[in-house]
């Protein structure tokens, strides 16, 4: 229990270390811009990579869903909230990704919590990448399994941990597909090999990969589909989660797994059972969004062209991290300096958030630039020039 005067000093301490957080109030969104404090800024802070949150055919689909089912979710999935529309999205997803079964959660956070706490138990061993998303870490802690974190993408360290543990049967490897603050990809082929070799489950949270990676946008498994370890793999041991809040442009998450796991979740997962089902109308929008993602290769091409353009235009290459995705952080490191640069960009009409600890490790504060199909080539050039100029003056 925290005491009132402890709260004061805790907040003061955050302020002193440039780590205090405030919410910005957004009063409008239109194409590539957001309105903050009465000013329209070019938005480089959204996960709406394909611009689908603004798509008019998706809006229409959601409205048709509202006309059929009404505004709300009305009840949990196990009571009367599970509609034909929800069922249909699960079916489309398992077919698209190529799994036996799929289940819908109301958010990515809940999906991670709901799955990991259901399959990992007290006597389980969980091996997690050090840079996994906070929701995965929370899920691992809440599961009460033994939570072992290996250095980021260090497959040798992971194998050493797995090796030490030959007798124990219950093993789960947990990873982001695309790491959310760096934009780099998990080494999925190697992780699958290790999962197979050491008889472990592999949980992949592909929040930032779905819609972006793979030739038809079906995420990181499709991206690596030509690798031998993936071609041969039975998906029995893989659990694949995509969120609907990022490239899909709506909200919620879908988990693909074998049927036994999905049945267990329906019966045991508290994060699945004790919450209201997502508004059914959204399923109509998600269906339309899935269609666009599968067919519209030009959207993905546009985003990846922007990514290459941005990387080429940044003068100080040492600020860039190794990322082919729309997540293009610039590693400034110092929290105070990062905030200052973010403010200067804001004055030029460019909204780029400063990401600081505890979201990222200490001394790795960064400007997290997100690139979207809503941007124009001019937006990308303007941002790169502004960053080049500001960084040069700061050094």
Shortest Å distance, C-beta 129 to ligand PLP: 11
Q: Binding residues for ligand PLP, per CB under 6 A?
A: 107-109, 112, 133, 135, 176, 180, 205, 207-208, 243, 245, 253
Quickly count: other Cβ atoms within 10 Å of residue 130's Cβ. Answer: 14
Nearest to 314 by CA among 374, 381, 379, 394: 381
Integer angstrom CA distances of residue 135 from 138, 234, 348? 5, 27, 34
- In angstroms, what is the minimal distance from the CB of 391 to ligand PLP? 27
For the CB of residue 207, give the shortest distance to ligand PLP in the complex, in Å.
3
Nearer to ligand PLP, 210 or 310 (CB): 210
Maximum CA extent, the chain: 62
State which residue, 208 or 302, has the beta carbon closest to ligand PLP. 208
Nearer to ligand PLP among residue 346 and residue 359 (C-beta): 359
Least gap, CB of 105 to ligand PLP (angstroms): 8
Burial of 334 (0-12, 13-18, 19+ CB in 10 A): middle
- CB nearer ligand PLP, residue 96 or residue 107: 107
Q: CB 288 → ligand PLP: shortest distance, Å?
A: 19
Of 196 and 287, nearer to ligand PLP (C-beta) is 287
Q: Residue 83: is it exposed, middle or buried by C-beta count within 10 angstroms (0-12/13-18/19+)?
A: buried
As measured in angstroms, the least distance from the Cβ of 134 to ligand PLP is 8
For residue 183, what are the CA distances in angstroms to 78, 148, 244, 325, 368?
Answer: 36, 23, 18, 6, 10
253 vs 314 by CB, closer to ligand PLP: 253
- Which element (helix H / strand E) includes 256? strand 253-257
Q: Which residue is nearest to ligand PLP (CB)?
A: 108
């Amino acid at each position: 229990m925290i005491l009132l005067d402890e709260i004061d000093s805790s907040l003061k301490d955050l302020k002193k270390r440039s780590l205090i957080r405030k919410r910005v109030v957004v009063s409008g969104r239109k194409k590539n811009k957001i309105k903050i404090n009465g000013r329209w800024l070019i938005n480089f802070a959204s996960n709406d990579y394909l611009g689908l949150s603004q798509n008019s055919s998706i809006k229409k689909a959601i409205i048709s869903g509202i006309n059929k089912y009404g505004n709300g979710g009305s009840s949990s999935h196990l009571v009367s909230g599970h509609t034909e529309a929800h069922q249909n999205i699960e079916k489309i997803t398992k077919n698209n990704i190529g799994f036996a079964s799929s289940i819908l959660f109301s958010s990515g956070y809940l999906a991670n919590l709901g799955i990991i706490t259901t399959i990992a138990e007290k006597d389980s061993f969980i091996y997690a990448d050090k840079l996994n998303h906070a929701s995965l870490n929370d899920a691992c802690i809440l599961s009460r399994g033994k939570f072992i974190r290996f250095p980021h993408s260090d497959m040798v360290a992971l194998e050493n941990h797995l090796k030490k543990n030959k007798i124990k049967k219950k093993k789960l490897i947990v990873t982001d597909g695309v790491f959310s603050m760096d934009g780099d990809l998990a080494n999925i082929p190697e992780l699958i090999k290790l999962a197979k070799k050491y008889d472990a489950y592999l949980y992949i949270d592909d929040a930032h990969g779905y819609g972006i990676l793979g030739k038809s946008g079906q995420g990181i498994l499709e991206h690596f589909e030509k690798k031998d370890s993936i071609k041969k793999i039975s998906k029995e041991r893989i659990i694949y989660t995509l969120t609907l809040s990022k490239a899909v442009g709506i909200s919620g998450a879908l988990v693909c797994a074998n049927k036994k796991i999905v049945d267990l979740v329906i019966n045991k997962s508290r994060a699945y059972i004790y919450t209201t089902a997502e508004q059914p109308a959204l399923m109509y929008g998600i269906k339309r969004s899935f269609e666009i993602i599968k067919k519209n290769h030009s959207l993905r091409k546009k985003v990846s062209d922007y990514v290459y353009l941005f990387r080429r235009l940044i003068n100080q290459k040492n600020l860039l991290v190794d990322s082919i995705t729309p997540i293009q952080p610039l590693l400034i490191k110092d929290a105070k300096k990062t905030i200052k640069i973010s403010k200067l960009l804001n004055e030029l009409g460019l909204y780029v958030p400063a990401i600081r600890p505890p979201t990222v490790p200490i001394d790795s504060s960064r400007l997290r630039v997100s690139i979207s199909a809503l941007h124009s080539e001019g937006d990308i050039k303007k941002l790169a020039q502004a960053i080049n100029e500001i960084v040069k003056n700061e050094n």
